[in-house]
Amino acid sequence: MRVLVSDNISDRGVEILKDAKLDVDVKTGMKPDELKACIGQYDGIVIRSATKLTADVIACAANLKVIGRAGSGLDNVDKAAATSKGIVVMNTPGGNTITTAEHTIALIVSLVRKIPQATASMKAGKWEKKKFMGVELFDKTLGILGLGNIGSQVAKRALGLGMKAICYDPFLNEELAENLGIKKVSRDELFTGADIITVHTPITNETRNIINKDSIAKMRDGVRIVNCARGGIVDEGALYDAIKSGKVAGAALDVFEKEPPENSPLLTLDEVICTPHLGASTHEAQENVALAVAEQIADYLVNGTIRHAVNFPSIPADQLNTLKPYIDLAEKMGCFASYFTDGQVKEIDIELRGEAAEIMDEPVKIAAVKGFLTPVLEHTVNFVNATHIAKERGIVVKVTKNADAGDYNTRVDLTIKSAEKTFSVSGTLFSKKNPRIIKIDNYVIEVVPEGTMLYINNNDRPGVIGSIGMLFGESGINIARMHFGRETKGGMAVSVVSVDGGIGEDIVQKIRMLPNILEVTKITMNG
Ligand code: 9EZ
């Protein structure tokens, strides 16, 4: 398999890809047209921020399976376009945590001691001692908005400088905050209680301009503001006004709404110090992210393991063994159900029962949808694009949980609703790992979902099973398994016949013609 490295990454990363027996081409600085012309040959691509993977570039990527960003920002990738093609998009969120935290501390210290301004002054031949009077950090309160990996490393370092730390994060890991000795406060308490506020959140609708005119108005007079996270978390216009008015004593910015900023009034202010998005720019961080992205890409292309994907849920290693049989079961049930659905599908309902109610549900849901869509679409359906395709087709997918699994320890119920009918199938795991279908609509049955099977609906009369067996025998087809179920004695019955090898359409037709046979459906399990 072939991997294109289209931005500069450290050599160790390229070596790791080669060690995994991948064919690697390093071609940096390509123009969009050059990239479009060659991207079709590659299974994977490694980028930083320079390569722009827009929808029209991704449209040319006929064989691409994975996009790996050495670093964390993915503004240069059209994630929706990649997802709809089933391309995994991954980044390396951990690789630059320490480096970014250190840059934040560097800016905080520089800000309160006016080091950049003093440097510029001396280089201009001056010796201005009064002008650069600073403040101590000791005993001051640092307000940390967003206590993720970077925020918590900043907190540790601030405590080491003798600062107090308070934090606000709606997704806070409370134990982490407590262990670090950081006080958890409300959003307003963070604004009112801090001498310096530093932001460490992703940019989302919640966090865009979270530092704005209104929140600044709540802050202490002389507050200082630091953004080493993402441009746009701090409203630049509001910050400018607040520095001009004297409310905000200073700001340190590594990131901007537009990069590079064009004629930003903020850059005219003495109270503002800045760096050109250097948060992750150390040799160590660049080495870390190059190694991480290479290992992740190799792991995906060679072993199929997905780590740090932004368009696929990451499964923690300790849950993988428990989850895998459920993923397999759900995919098979989805595939099975697709043969019994007519008309426009409106809804796929997955009920996880008993032990199944305890597991991570997202991968199981995706597997059921993938299994269902694969036989009915020409389009390649995989774990990345399955839910996306379902949504595009107006199919609502729902997961519910139920502690009660009836006679089973664990059970998955799948219901497909279309305008014409509702079909349901239930499954379980034998010995925690072997998938079984245990109910098809109202028929209780025990089917090993594997290979090629015939689902036969017949009147419950003597001789029917025999006639089916005879026909297979005469056709030289070996029956591997046969499962039976019925509603009531002498009523309607189902047989599911598994065979070694395939079943030709002629045989299916002949079975349909046998007496007392009502319906025959040939099922081929995915994979
Ligand atoms: C939002 C956040 C932090 C925050 C943190 C994360 C998605 N997200 N949002 C508001 N991981 C502080 C204030």
- Please identify, by atom number, the ligand 1 atom nearest to the C-alpha of residue 200: 3
- Ligand 1 mean position, distance from CA 104 (Å): 18
Say how far apart CA 437 and CA 447 lie, in whole Å.
5
Give me the catalytic one of 200, 220, 224, 230.
230
Give backbone dihedrals phi and psi of 180, rounded to 5 degrees, phi first.
-80, -20
Kindly state the percentage of the chain with pLDDT values over 70: 100
Find out whether the beta carbon of 171 lies less than 6 Å from any atom of ligand 1.
Answer: yes
If you measure from the C-alpha of residue 152 to the centroid of ligand 1, how many angstroms do you get, rounded to a whole number? 13
Q: Is the CB of 237 under 6 A from ligand 1?
A: no
**Ligand 1 within 6 A of CB of 260:** no
140-170: burial string, b at 16+ Cβ within 10 Å, e else: bbbbbbbbbbbbbbbbebbeeeebbbbbbbe
Cβ 125 under 6 angstroms from ligand 1 = no
Active site residue 230: yes
Q: Which residues of the chain does CATH 3.40.50.720 include?
A: 1-93+282-312, 97-274
**Statement: residue 7 has pLDDT above 80:** yes
281 vs 526: CA distance, rounded Å: 46
DSSP lists the bridge partners of residue 145 as 168, 199
Give the pLDDT confidence of 97-144 residue by residue, as tens digits: 999 999 999 999 999 999 999 999 999 999 999 999 999 999 999 999
In the chain, CATH 3.30.70.260 covers 450-527
pLDDT at residue 318 in the model: 85
**Which residues touch 283 (CB under 8 Å, ≥6 apart)?**
none
Q: What is the CATH number of domain 97-274?
A: 3.40.50.720
Residue 379 annotated as catalytic: no
Answer yes or no: is the C-beta of 205 below 6 A from any ligand 1 atom: no
Measured in Å, residue 203 CA sits from the centre of ligand 1 at 8
**pLDDT band for position 156 (cuts 50, 70, 90):** very high
Highest mean pLDDT among 137-141, 308-312, 497-501: 137-141
**Cα–Cα nearest to 47, from 300, 304, 297, 301:** 297
Supply φ then ψ for residue 199, to 5 degrees: -105, 135
pLDDT at 427: 97
Q: At 505, give phi and psi (nearest 5°).
A: -60, -30
As a whole-number percent, the residues of the chain with pLDDT over 90 amount to 84
Q: Which of 85, 101, 53, 92 is nearest to 70 (CA)?
A: 92
Q: Using 50, 70 and 90 to split pLDDT, how confident is the model at 233? A: very high
User: What is the side-by-side strand order in the sheet with 88-90?
Assistant: 23-26, 2-5, 44-47, 66-69, 88-90
pTM confidence score:
0.78
Closest by alpha carbon to 346, among 422, 247, 258? 422
Is the domain spanning 314-441 CATH 3.30.1360.20? The answer is no
SS3 assignment, position 232: coil
Predicted local confidence at residue 425, as pLDDT? 97
Distance 272 CA to ligand 1 centre (A): 25
Q: Nearest residue CA, atom 4 of ligand 1?
A: 201
Architecture of the domain whose range is 450-527 = 2-Layer Sandwich (3.30)
Q: What is the pLDDT of residue 447?
A: 95
Q: Is 28 in the pocket of ligand 1 (CB under 6 A)?
A: no
CATH 3.30.1330.90 residue window(s) in the chain: 314-441
Q: What would the pLDDT profile of 252-275 be if each residue is shown by its tens digit?
A: 999 999 999 999 999 999 999 999
pLDDT tier at 527, thresholds 50, 70, 90: low
**Atom number of ligand 1 nearest to Cα 148:** 11
φ, ψ of residue 403 to 5 degrees: the values are -65, -25
| Structure confidence by residue, pLDDT tens digits, 16-34 | 999 999 999 999 999 999 9
**In the prediction, which pLDDT does 502 show?**
85
Domain covering 1-93+282-312 assigned CATH 3.40.50.1460 in the classification? no
